Amino acid sequence: MAGAFASRRLQRELPKLQATTSPGIKLVSATDLQEWLIDIQVMDSAHPLYAGQTYRLRFRFSGKYPIEAPEVMFIRATAASCWDQKPRSIPMHPHIYSNGIICLDLLDKAGWSPVQNVESVSMSLQSMLAGNYKNERPEGDEVFVRTNTQRPRDVNFEFHDDDC
Amino acid sequence: MPAQDGISDPTDWLGTPVASLEPLEAGLRCEICKDFYTAPVLTACCHTFCSGCIRRSLSSVNASRKCPLCWAPFDEGQLRKNKIVEELVRTFQAARGEILALGHAVRDDAFNRVESGRKRKLDEIEDAIPLSNGVSPRKTRSQTQHKTNLIQPPSMSEKIALEEQEEEDVENRNEDGKVSCPICGQRMPEAQVFTHLDTHSEDKVTMPGISNSRLPNRTQPAMPTMTPLPTLSYSLLSEMQLRKKLRELGIPSDGNKQAMSRRHTEWRNLVNANSDSSNPKSKPDLLRELNNWERTQNSTNHSYTAKATKFAVMDKDFDRDNWSINHNCDFQSLIAAARTKAKASSKLDPKAPEDKVIISNHSSAESSEPNETGKDPPGIPSSSQMSIVGLANRED
Ligand SMILES: [Zn+2]
Ligand SMILES: [Zn+2]
Ligand SMILES: [Zn+2]
């Protein structure tokens, strides 16, 4: 009943997320109970890197969610496809690869907890951006982006000691 | 295993005169499935989850035998039934519909009184106009009474609720710094609770204050609970030995070794969670659940997507407030559709009410494989800070 388990949990989250009062988190699309798109903004209007920017997260759920972590990454989008007519890019961050793959322990197999949900993950990513002032990509970004053929959740990162 | 309570939610209480029940209901729900606890168990760190939820979490390839809430490490063997929570959930669920209806009735009643009061007041004024030579004092008084009646019922009940809440807060305060045993209620220093819990022999426990006669719905297990199953070291068993083991357990024994290991893990979770329930299911029921689980492991995801496309929310011209208004009914209908489906299918097969609303995972086979360290993509300098390592290397 793993599939029913996941669908039940997601059907619980959906109306809440739709009515969410968390500032800077917007449900953009929930076409089905397998892939949701969320737009996030850093609420600090003076932030040197992210002020005024909106970034798009793609959540993919397996039938074992929430026992298993969702696959979460940043994705690009053209201006025409967005509600505010602004394009979505991949935020510059020492733990976000230029292909959108995120190195965050709570999304990793060992760091995930089934008590997390879409909103809590979105908020974690929001604060991960808010706390960063380095205008840089992870070390080895170019090589990783060129060679990685694994899905985000199958990549095993060694987590950095700092703010990751 | 989630309880069958539709898509009820603690927020159902908000907007009723008993909105203070929202946190109470939230406390009776499992943090993993967000449903009311089913066969709740207490972990070594004193957190409570559904037996099935925490066992699944512990046995998933991702889990590292830690509490999902506080990350305290513990073993499945340390799980203890949380009987009082199970009773609370059962009695709360039994009363939930009634209290909610009452809450709605009080709210609607107050609203109606305001409306009819307003109307009557207008009538009285109109009546009074022809008799302008003197409005009787009686009438005036009845008007004032009306006025107070309008305001009093809701505010009075609110006041009482508040006072009661304050009283409860005082009662619950732990002046002695001790905690109560979740099973017998005896007060003791927190550190002693776990050793004390072990002294309870599961079957002889009687709960003070909750006698069976006061619980009309309580049904004693009709059959002896299946004994909890131990873990198997799948890597130490040959395919043939494992197949034999499954046959002995009376569960399907087809498929390769990996499929059989997964099936055994699920069966063990079902049986062991069932043994934590006060109303254990029969083996045929559990076999049916295992069968349902098996189907979600193999099927593809066509079933849902076809239905779901009509709920697509295109992000063009996205405006949050309008979107909330315009699409709220979409979500309502999504929920309504799911409910109807659950109802319809439960008529056909009461044991498999959720089959039709399943989201299946076409990649479940690969995802449940233990991660192998040998799969590192080429070209990553191992000296780099971002080196790719196996799970075992991660200590924090
Ligand atoms: Zn649960
Ligand atoms: Zn805990
Ligand atoms: Zn006790």
Percent of chain A with pLDDT over 70: 90
Distance of CA B9 to the CA centre of its chain: 9
Domain ranges of chain A: 2-148
Could you say which DSSP state residue A75 is in?
A: E
Distances (CA, A) of A5 to A63, B6, B50, B212, B288: 8, 13, 13, 32, 16
d(CA A15, CA B48): 26
Domain membership of residue B97 (yes or no) is yes
Range of the domain at B93: 2-37+82-155
Domain end residue (candidates: B258, B287, B310):
B310
Higher pLDDT, B359 or A107: A107
Q: What integer pLDDT is reported at residue A151 of this predicted model?
A: 72
A82 is catalytic: no
> Chain B contact for A114, CB < 8 A?
yes
Q: Where are the alpha helices (DSSP H) in B238-282?
A: 239-249, 257-275
pLDDT band at A154 (very low <50, low <70, confident <90, very high): low
Q: What integer pLDDT is reported at residue B194 of this predicted model?
A: 60
For residues B379 and B266, state if they share a domain: no
Q: Which of A14-18, A41-45, B283-287, B352-356 has the lowest mean pLDDT?
A: B352-356
For residues B98 and B30, state if they share a domain: yes
> Chain B contact for A17, CB < 8 A?
no
Distance B33 CA to ligand 1 centre (A): 4
> Chain B contact for A45, CB < 8 A?
no
CA–CA min distance B345, chain A (Å): 13
Q: What is the count of structural domains for chain B?
A: 4
Distances (CA, A) of B62 to A30, B243, B293, B360, B370: 26, 25, 19, 19, 9
For residues B145 and B98, state if they share a domain: yes
Say whether pTM exceeds 0.95. no
For residues B86 and B109, state if they share a domain: yes
Domain membership of residue B59 (yes or no) is no
For residues B240 and B379, state if they share a domain: no
ipTM summary value: 0.81
For residues B98 and B199, state if they share a domain: no
pLDDT band at A152 (very low <50, low <70, confident <90, very high): confident
Domain membership of residue B226 (yes or no) is no
A35 membership: H or E segment, kind and range = strand A35-40
For residues B31 and B116, state if they share a domain: yes
Fold of A2-148: Ubiquitin Conjugating Enzyme (3.10.110)
Domain membership of residue B52 (yes or no) is no
For residues B254 and B202, state if they share a domain: no
Domain membership of residue B114 (yes or no) is yes
For residues B151 and B26, state if they share a domain: yes
Which residues of chain B register pLDDT less than 50? 1-5, 129-174, 201-222, 300-331, 345-396
Q: Mean pLDDT over residues A39-64, rounded? A: 94
Could you say which DSSP state residue A77 is in?
A: B
Is omega for the bond preceding A87 within 30 degrees of 0, making it cis?
no
Distance B38 CA to ligand 1 centre (A): 7
